[in-house]
Amino acid sequence: MCAGISTSTRSSSIRIPDFSVTSDPKARLAEAYRQALAKEAPDHPELEVVFEKPRQPEHGDFACSIALQLAKRLKRNPRQLAEALTSKALAAFADFDKFFAGYEIAGPGFINFRLRPEVKLAAIRSALAAGADWGRATKDRPISVQVEFVSANPTGPLHVGHGRQAAIGDALAAMLEARGDKVTREFYYNDAGAQIHNLALSVQARARGLKPGDAGWPADGYAGEYIEEIARQYRGSLEDLEAIRRFAVDYLREEQDIDLREFGVKFDVYYLESSLYTDGKVDEVVKALIASGKTYEKDGALWLRSTEYGDDKDRVIRKSDGAYTYFVPDVAYHLTKWRRGFAKVINVQGTDHMGTKARVRAGLQALNVGVPPGYPDYVMHSMVRVMRGGEEVKISKRAGSYVTLRDLLDWAGRDAVRFFLLSRRADADFVFDIDLARAQTEENPVYYVQYAHARVCSVFGQWTGNPAALSSADLSRLTNEKEFALAQRIGEFPDLVAEAARELSPHSITFYLRSLAAEFHSYYNAERILVDDEALRMARLALCAAVRQTLASGLSLIGVSAPEKM
RNA sequence: GCGCCCGUAGCUCAGCGGAUCAGAGUAUUGGCCUCCGAAGCCAAGGGUCGUGGGUUCGAAUCCCGCCGGGCGCGCCA
């Protein structure tokens, strides 16, 4: 929210203009127009006043099309309405001139506003004052949010899809934290059930000298090379399947942890599916579902009428052989999330788990314990294809049937992999070009952003002044358009983070960083920073310091390093 | 067959609560280092936004059909 309060004391020096304005002029403007609209058109409360930054700079800094929307409903001339709304709105906006250089009614009825340059430049002070907290916000009443991601079965190495999830989930968590919520990162292990049984059988078979395809090899056995490694290192009895299972699961969990550490992802909670059985939570859910009256017996199995809660078909709870389906622990697990007090839960999953969304929500609704209908949220991401040398890579030796996260890290490194995996919308198909990610000298977007940061650092490395003095630099010495644009871009950062967090779209951070880096590179080539004129030099250094802070803060949100040298 | 998602420049992709939306990067071509890092900058060419309708003064954006692609649709997890 717009705090609207400037806590900084007015400087006594008359040489320094007032840059301490922290009110959000856009919010003020929108509010003024909302009130004007309420007077002009009380019958149309559905109309929303939105100010946006026009694509083309000549259309000003903020633009609004409310007059056009209203004209349609009132069947009146949009330009006249724009004038009428504006005169009402500005009459109520006493210090308009303090923020804005002017406005115009353009085209069919757009209202365009131009900020005063010093308002744009004020972002520089804000960024410097905030330091590492730039872009962050605090909430009076933070909510408890859980982001569940990766959640790979301990049946093999992590694949590229898990990598995408790790990048997305960790960035989402960081963004939500930055906006003031309390975030828990959680990993759920499906360490019970048939797949784990297959894993144990596969390791046992390998240990007995069998290979995939041999007579006696388990029907759904795992063929990857890692099975052989596990079998080689297992020292216990080959008859003790339970011991083999435990060994294999521990081995693979450890291996996954190593990859995640290298990727820079840490989890607060690891939740084991098996604990849901040992704690009795699975039984509890079954009883609760039966008590709900929404179950029925058919063909020897127990079913839930999940279609009554938006699922596309009813689900089996207990199979005719007496065992529960995976549906039950899934619901039990999500019930624990609700009971653990997570007001908001975001599950990051691949689109191959599309079906679980309706199922889990339906199961929670059937329990009738007050869980909201849209709980939990899902961010579904599509699959990753890997290209190398102009060809698609489909398998790795180690995993057998898929490319691993480790392959990606070995080929391109953490920063490039993170940045790349976040440079697409989650639900967009994604082709990971290894050759591009490896390119250290050319067209690599990661280096483009990191280079901007290193460049700023390099400038500061050649300057011997006192950094503390930057905060009192005379910003009115900044007078060219590139400087205004850069400052304005910096000023957008907090809103951008808030918006990306709300929309659950970490990719917009990477796009923002590219724009910011581009504007800085352009500025750097056009103007010299370390000029002889000391006041101008200080002002430009202050701008550079704000750029550096914004790049560092943005990169940190997506888990990419901000190097001082490259 | 049903459900969800996706078709935007040669390639990889933004934009998609309509308007001021035809964009970025890359590739191609041509310029810029005696000067803070050329991993950079400046400029040019390149697309009837899959397709056909509809709503609208106005559609890449909303609605419907079709074509093409992905993922689901198990008493597997």
The pLDDT tens digits of the residues spanning A423-445 come to 988 988 788 888 777 765 555 77
Nearest nucleotide, CA A78 to C1': B57
- A319 CB and strand B closer than 7 A: yes
Residue range A294-298: average pLDDT? 92
Q: What is the pLDDT of residue A440?
A: 57
Q: What is the pLDDT of residue A7?
A: 27
Q: Percent of chain A, pLDDT > 90?
A: 59
Examine the pLDDT at A21 and tell me if it is beyond 70: no
In chain A, residues 111 through 130 whose Cβ sits under 7 angstroms from any atom of nucleic acid strand B: 111-112
Examine the pLDDT at A471 and tell me if it is beyond 70: yes
Instruction: State, as a whole number of angstroms, the distance between the CA of A399 and the C1' of B71.
Output: 22
Q: Which nucleotides of B are covered by protein (CB under 7 A)?
A: 2-7, 12-17, 19-21, 23-27, 35-42, 56-58, 69-77
Q: What is the pLDDT of residue A6?
A: 29
- A194 CB and strand B closer than 7 A: yes
Whole-number Å distance between alpha carbons of A431 and A388: 10
Strand order in the sheet with A182-189: A269-272, A182-189, A144-148, A344-350, A377-381
Q: Is A531 exposed, middle or buried (0-12, 13-18, 19+ CB in 10 A)?
A: middle
Q: Which residue is nearest to nucleotide B39 (CA to C1')?
A: A441
Instruction: State, as a whole number of angstroms, the distance between the CA of A513 and the C1' of B15.
Output: 16
Structure tokens at A266: 């840490």
Q: Which residue is nearest to nucleotide B13 (CA to C1')?
A: A424
Q: What is the pLDDT of residue A303?
A: 94
- A401 CB and strand B closer than 7 A: no
Q: Which residue is nearest to nucleotide B76 (CA to C1')?
A: A194
Nearest nucleotide, CA A70 to C1': B19
Is A185:A145 a contact under the CB 8 Å cutoff?
A: no
- A53 CB and strand B closer than 7 A: no
Least confident of A149-163, A299-313, A386-400, A525-539: A386-400
Examine the pLDDT at A5 and tell me if it is beyond 90: no
Whole-number Å distance between alpha carbons of A313 and A359: 9
Residue range A217-244: average pLDDT? 93
- In angstroms, the Cα distances linking A449 to A137, A212, A498, A544 are 24, 46, 21, 14
Nearest nucleotide, CA A445 to C1': B25
CA-based angle A283:A288:A293, to the nearest 5?
130
- A63 CB and strand B closer than 7 A: yes
Q: What is the pLDDT of residue A4?
A: 29
Residue range A410-420: average pLDDT? 90
pTM of the model: 0.91
- A471 CB and strand B closer than 7 A: no
Strand partners, A380: A349
Q: Which residue is nearest to nucleotide B38 (CA to C1')?
A: A525
Nearest nucleotide, CA A565 to C1': B37
Examine the pLDDT at A23 and tell me if it is beyond 80: no
CA-based angle A103:A109:A112, to the nearest 5?
25
Instruction: State, as a whole number of angstroms, the distance between the CA of A105 and the C1' of B30.
Output: 41
Least confident of A12-16, A47-51, A329-333, A521-525: A12-16
Tens digit of each residue's pLDDT (9 = 90 or more) over A115-173? 898 889 999 999 999 999 999 999 999 999 999 999 999 999 999 999 999 999 999 99
Least confident of A55-69, A328-342, A494-508: A55-69
Residue range A202-230: average pLDDT? 92
Instruction: State, as a whole number of angstroms, the distance between the CA of A525 and the C1' of B31.
Output: 15
Whole-number Å distance between alpha carbons of A454 and A446: 12
Q: What is the rounded average pLDDT for all residues in chain A? A: 88
State ipTM: 0.94
Tens digit of each residue's pLDDT (9 = 90 or more) over A249-259? 999 999 999 99
Instruction: State, as a whole number of angstroms, the distance between the CA of A205 and the C1' of B63.
Output: 57
Residue range A547-561: average pLDDT? 96
Q: What is the pLDDT of residue A19?
A: 35
- A352 CB and strand B closer than 7 A: yes
User: For A162, which DSSP code?
Assistant: H
Nearest nucleotide, CA A461 to C1': B36
- A69 CB and strand B closer than 7 A: yes
A332-362 CB burial, b ≥16 within 10 A, e <16: bbbbebbeeebebbbbbbbeeeeebbbbbbb
Q: What is the pLDDT of residue A443?
A: 58
Q: What is the pLDDT of residue A15?
A: 29
Examine the pLDDT at A18 and tell me if it is beyond 70: no
Q: What is the pLDDT of residue A51?
A: 79
Structure tokens at A228: 């052989």
Higher pLDDT, A342 or A384: A342
Q: What is the pLDDT of residue A30?
A: 82
Q: What is the pLDDT of residue A13?
A: 27
Examine the pLDDT at A354 and tell me if it is beyond 70: yes
Q: Which residue is nearest to nucleotide B3 (CA to C1')?
A: A312
Nearest nucleotide, CA A112 to C1': B20
Q: What is the pLDDT of residue A10?
A: 27
- In angstroms, the Cα distances linking A211 to A197, A216, A223, A245, A521 are 18, 9, 8, 18, 57
- A341 CB and strand B closer than 7 A: no
Q: Which of A312, A315, A313 is nearest to A304 (CA)?
A: A315
Q: What is the pLDDT of residue A37?
A: 84
Tens digit of each residue's pLDDT (9 = 90 or more) over A67-125? 888 887 777 778 888 888 898 889 888 888 888 988 888 877 888 888 898 889 999 99
Q: What is the pLDDT of residue A279?
A: 94
In chain A, residues 507 through 526 whose Cβ sits under 7 angstroms from any atom of nucleic acid strand B: 507-508, 511, 514, 518, 521-522, 524-526
